[in-house]
Amino acid sequence: AGGGRVFSGIQPTGVPHLGNYLGALENWVSLQSQFPSVLYSIVDLHSITQPQDPALLRSNILDMAASLLACGIDPERAILFQQSQVSEHAELSWILGCLTTMPRLRHLPQWKMKSKQKKDGSVGLFTYPVLQAADILLYKSTHVPVGEDQVQHLELAQDLARIFNNHYGDLFPEPAALLSCTRKVKSLRDPSAKMSKSDPHTMATISITDSPDDIALKVRRAVTDFTSEVTFDPEARPGVSNLVTIHAAMARMGVEEAVAQAAGLDTGAYKRLVTEVVIQRMTPIREEIQRLRADPEHLEEVLSQGSCRARELAAPVLREVRQRVGF
């Protein structure tokens, strides 16, 4: 697709779930063949905006590396790296932070939400979107895959590119959003909420490393309703419709086709069908994660090579930034 560079990041806060896979990672994999340059970062600097246990964080970083590789991120085609190994992210973040204002950040939805939950949010949590802008601009990225919830953060990155360019002369392209048109996967226990790793209910979320038995149990327990026929109507029947969404996405077909396959099945039988489809798609991924996770040195090597390549791209950009700023 001509030129262009894609950047995206994911926090190392546990193994991805089905929502992450279908809403983000599947798309990350296909972007590798659509753009000549693609960077995917395990954004550990972002993750410490919330308290993290060091040993667990270290282990989560390797879990995430294994998960991304197992899902199809290919280090030959994408630069897969650990954010904290490229110190330019933090340095550019500081410079960009000096180009925006507190009121601009205070209105961003994530801060509003998280600082409401926790009255004493950290400075890092507040400036998180500035670091995100630095992540993107550091590589002069042109395209950023985002969920709807991240659109306003990307707008900050676009603003900061413009502000920097106005102040110091053209340097950064304004990154464009690649909005994924995938449907949100909902919690299996409360289909009015999205599936999320922060959901405390263990039966609500299917992790990509769940065993076939776990998957079967969680799908069996999924909240549906008192109509036994399978239809797709997310407003009136969110639970069953969520199963249809999962089924369709896992089998790579449209929801109409998934509903057609459910003809004649009651929701109990349909849950067994959905279980089979999920297990079939997830088994090779789970097995590959296990295989990769057994060799942490290899994973560390992949990340350190990726970080090296990322630094090679970042260093000249930051040199230019420093010079323009007057350092």
**Is position 140 annotated as part of the catalytic site?**
no
In whole angstroms, what is the distance from residue 143 CA to residue 278 CA?
30
- Decide if residue 20 touches ligand ADP (CB under 6 A): yes
Answer yes or no: 194 catalytic. Answer: yes
Size of the site for ligand ADP (CB under 6 A): 15
Closest residue to ligand ADP, judged by C-beta, is 23
Tokens of 176: 């464009």
Asked if residue 77 binds ligand ADP (CB under 6 A), the reply is: no
**In the sheet where 37-42 sits, what is the strand order?**
79-82, 37-42, 5-10, 143-146, 176-179
| DSSP tag of 6 | E
223 binds ligand ADP (CB under 6 A): no
Tokens at residue 232, please?
């797709």
- Residue 110 touches ligand ADP, criterion: CB under 6 A: no
Tell me the per-residue interface mask from 159 to 188 with ligand ADP, x by CB under 6 A, - otherwise: -------------------------xx---
Least distance CB 93 / ligand ADP (angstroms): 19
Return the biggest CA–CA distance within the chain.
Answer: 71
Q: Select which of 140, 184, 186, 194 is catalytic.
A: 194
Nearer to ligand ADP, 82 or 321 (CB): 82
User: Does the protein bind ligand ADP through residue 194 (CB under 6 A)?
Assistant: yes
Shortest Å distance, C-beta 187 to ligand ADP: 8
Which residue of the set 184, 197, 218, 271 is catalytic? 197
What are 141's two structure tokens? 């990225």
CA distance 319 to 327: 9
Find the helix packing angle between 296-325 and 54-71, rounded to 10°: 100
Contact between 114 and ligand ADP (CB under 6 A)?
no
Cβ-in-10-Å burial (0-12, 13-18, 19+) of 292 comes to buried
Catalytic residue flag (residue 114): yes
| Interface region with ligand ADP, contact rule CB under 6 A, candidates 77-85, 191-199, 285-293, 296-304 | 191-199
